[in-house]
Amino acid sequence: MNEQLETLFKYIEPAKLLDLGLQATKFVVVIIVALVVLRLVKAAIERVGKRMQQRGSTLDDQKRVETLTRVLKYVANVVVLLLGALIALGTIGISIAPVLAAAGVVGLAVGFGAQSLVKDYFTGIVLLIENQIRAGDFIEVGGKSGTVENVTLRYVRLRDAHGNVHFVPNGQIDSVTNSTMEFAYAVVDVGIAYKEEVDAAIQVMQKVGTELTEDKDWGPKITEPMSTFGVQELADSAVIIRVRFKTLPGEQWGVRREYNKRIKAAFDNVGIEIPFPHVTMCPSTGSAMELPAQISSS
């Protein structure tokens, strides 16, 4: 064993071993420095983001800051690690210039075959600049709808009401429907029987709307008094009356459900009928008989 080591040291000069050790040390140090710098940059981004969120006057401003913070962290990962890798390669004698030239040629070749990927990134930048989508928004995009969990330069991640997660590439986004931008409307259509008085029903609906607006739990979610539009439609079996609440973003669904629950109880108390479809059948005896639609159709 000793003879083998002596033979090895004859062919390897101590100066070369020292130089190799220094190169390896520099390589490791550069990688460690890059990781430390990345951690500091991400911490700085997080700190600035929290300060901007605290200064945000509206929920929309806070959502936008949160989304931009996530994207900036993603960009910092790519930039710092890429630069660290290039500098580390330079410490072990690999010239950066040829690597950059080769990367440019490869990037050009890949660009022709990955135009959709380039489109994803370009569209992602536009979405962030125009503030169309923020984390926490409920949107419909690319044929999918749900709550935005994450926005990157390449895709938008949504989670729908059933818990399914959808990844929509930014390049496939041609239009965005955002249900939680600045404010929302809770539109409620209530049907009453044709035999009922419309004005009396509207008075009950307005009273319920006022009570809901003044409620200690629901009132803060409603930003304006209820608007009454009146008769919206003369349907087959009901007169449809429409009302609307202006709410905080994302609160429109809860307000609509609560109002429906209260209006059902209020109509029951005063005897106003909320109808269901009926069909009049005429037997051979000539007397008309009215049955519920779901029974007569069976």
Reply yes or no on whether the pLDDT at 298 is more than 50: no
Question: What are the residue boundaries of the structural domains of the chain, listed by start?
Answer: 2-113, 126-178, 184-270
Token pair recorded at residue 272:
């106003």
Q: Which amino acid is at 27?
A: F
Question: How is domain 126-178 classified at the CATH fold level?
Answer: SH3 type barrels. (2.30.30)
β partners of residue 145? 140
Q: Which amino acid is at 215?
A: D
pLDDT digits (tens, 9 = 90+) for 118-140: 777 778 888 877 778 888 889 99
β partners of residue 288? none
Residue 230: φ, ψ to 5°: 90, -155
pLDDT digits (tens, 9 = 90+) for 198-241: 999 999 999 999 999 999 999 999 999 999 999 999 988 899 99
pLDDT value for 292: 55
Owner of token pair 């049907």: 191
User: pLDDT-based confidence at 296, cuts 50/70/90?
Assistant: very low
Q: How far apart are the first and last CA of the chain?
A: 96
Judge contact between 145 and 139, C-beta under 8 A: yes
H-assigned helices in 114-244 = 115-129, 198-214
pLDDT value for 173: 87
pLDDT value for 221: 94
What rounded mean pLDDT belongs to the chain? 79
pLDDT value for 11: 54
- Of all residues in the chain, the percent with pLDDT exceeding 70 is 73
Q: What angle do CA 102, 105, 110 make, to 5 degrees?
A: 120
Token pair recorded at residue 238:
């009901």
Residue 173: φ, ψ to 5°: -90, 115
pLDDT value for 112: 54
* pLDDT mean over 35-40: 83
From 2-11, 17-26, 50-59, the region with the lowest mean pLDDT = 2-11
Among 174-178, 227-231, 272-276, the range of highest mean pLDDT: 227-231
pLDDT value for 13: 59
* pLDDT mean over 63-92: 74
pLDDT value for 165: 93
pLDDT value for 265: 95
pLDDT value for 295: 45
- Of all residues in the chain, the percent with pLDDT exceeding 90 is 34
Considering the segment(s) 2-113 as one domain, its CATH architecture is: Orthogonal Bundle (1.10)
pTM of the model: 0.62
CATH of span 184-270: 3.30.70.100
Of residues 47, 218, 60, 203, the one with CA closest to residue 132: 60
Q: What is the DSSP letter of 174?
A: S
Of residues 106, 190, 191, 116, the one with CA closest to residue 155: 116
Judge contact between 129 and 121, C-beta under 8 A: no
* pLDDT mean over 145-152: 89
Residue 292 CB coordination number (10 Å): 11
pLDDT value for 100: 60
From 26-40, 55-69, 76-90, the region with the lowest mean pLDDT = 55-69
**Separation of alpha carbons 147 and 213, rounded Å:** 26
**126-178 and 184-270: identical CATH topology:** no
More confident residue, 108 or 219: 219
* pLDDT mean over 83-111: 65
